Amino acid sequence: GSRWGYKQTVYGPTDWGLAAPLCTGQFQSPIDIITSSAQTNSSHNGLALTFDNTDGAISGSLTNNGHAPTVTLDKTKGGVTLAGGPLGQTTFSLEQFHFHFGCESNVGSEHTVDGNSYASEMHLVFYNTLYESFQEAASKSDGLSVIGVFLQVNGGFNEWLENIALSLTNVKFPSGGSYSPGGSIPLATLVPDLVSKNAPYYTYKGSLTTPPCYESVQWIVLKNPISVTKSQLEIMRSLSATSGNSLCNNFRPVNALNGRKLYKWPG
């Protein structure tokens, strides 16, 4: 059901398994990325993203689903595909991106790095084009790949994050309604490492970080954070969750690696 959340007053993370049994699995996400234990894999390469629009822009609709502010791509206005990295020749198509963030800036990311949190983490959710849709792919072991991008405060002003942040005031309350941000979002400018062939990343096999917690995700977590301002985070924090509380601290605690291999690129 949809009655899960991040606070223990609803079905909090430790109770997700009651409603979604897969959430108690052994290969769950997020994890703490212990950088000293990351190995190199000689078959991995740099990420290869391709944008249908030459300027790297996308269009989509913005929704507040009660768990995270989400931009769902309008593929008729240009898609984004992901291959390379740990994925080799298999191509994945961007479905949506969304944000996890803290009520305070010392927490918010889902993945942590050597025990340290970032203020926010953006997830770019791709599905394997061997399947017909995200929904078809979501439960398959090779179905999904998500790129995680950390957001840190005090690095500078990101104009395109501002564009998204200002649009968020139109989806303050969770509902089926959506809002189309004016113009297109230059994703390649928002996250420059998406168009770099040399972007360093960590990668491992894990899960959706929310119910139903399918263990179907090749996680690719970019090492380099992008910048967010405190006021942009405050706009995110002014969103309401399904519970009526602020939609902040919408991150799942880290899970054990349980023998999985964590890789880094480059070596």
- Exactly one of 58, 73, 164, 208 binds ligand BO1 (CB under 6 A); that residue is 208
What Cα–Cα distance (Å) separates residue 40 from each residue in 106, 200, 206, 211, 261? 30, 12, 18, 31, 10
The one of Zn ion, ligand BO1, none whose footprint includes residue 125, by CB under 5 to 8 A per kind, is ligand BO1
Q: What are the structure tokens assigned to 148, written together? A: 């995680």
- Which residues within the stretch 140-179 sit at the binding site for ligand BO1 (CB under 6 A)? 146
CB nearer to Zn ion: pick between 53 and 152: 152
Q: Annotated catalytic, 67?
A: yes
> By the 8 A CB rule, do 213 and 20 touch?
yes
Q: Is residue 98 annotated as part of the catalytic site, yes or no?
A: no
- For residue 178, the minimal CB distance to Zn ion (Å) is 18
What region does 154 belong to: left with phi over 0, alpha with psi -120 to 50, or beta? left
Token couple for 165: 């942040």
- 123 in contact with ligand BO1 (CB under 6 A): yes
User: Does the protein bind ligand BO1 through residue 209 (CB under 6 A)?
Assistant: yes
Angle, helix 159-168 to helix 230-237, in steps of 10 degrees: 20
Tell me which amino acid residue 194 is. Answer: L
Q: Is 135 in the site for ligand BO1 (CB under 6 A)?
A: yes
Binding residues (CB under 5 A) for Zn ion: these are: 123
Binding residues (CB under 6 A) for ligand BO1: these are: 123, 125, 135, 138, 146, 208-210, 212
Q: Which residues are catalytic?
A: 67, 131
